[in-house]
Amino acid sequence: MSESIHGHEVMHFMLERGGKFTRQSLEQAIIGRFGAEARFHTCSAEGMDAATLIDFLAKKGKFVESAEGFNTEPDKICNH
């Protein structure tokens, strides 16, 4: 299995892509970028697949919602 990817990388990817996501479109974008078998970790969780990471980040308030969907903001990404 490949090395685990930090959730910060996914959030930076979201910013680079721009636009708005739905949960489904973000999951597809993450799989397209990092692969279907990729596993993710954060400062407090590990072993997550794309869908689980999205749920985790949403619960942590890392997404900014709008009528068109959601994205993140640089100040939502911790710097450690």
Tokens linked to 50 = 């794309």
Position 79 scores a pLDDT of: 76
Cα separation, 21 vs 69, whole angstroms: 5
The residues facing 66 across adjacent strands are 69
Is 32 part of any domain?
Answer: yes
| pLDDT for position 80 | 66
Is 13 contained in some domain? yes
* pLDDT-above-70 percentage for the chain: 96
Neighbours of 50 (CB within 10 A): 23
Considering the entire predicted model, what is its pTM?
A: 0.91
Name the domain count of the chain: 1
Per-residue pLDDT of the chain (80 residues; tens, 9 = 90+): 568 999 999 999 999 999 999 999 999 999 999 999 999 999 999 999 999 999 999 999 999 999 899 999 999 998 76
Structural domain span for residue 43: 5-72
Provide the terminal-to-terminal Cα distance of the chain, rounded to the nearest Å: 25
Give the pLDDT confidence of 40-57 residue by residue, as tens digits: 999 999 999 999 999 999
Query: Residue 6 belongs to what H/E stretch?
Result: strand 5-6
CATH of the domain at 29: 1.10.10
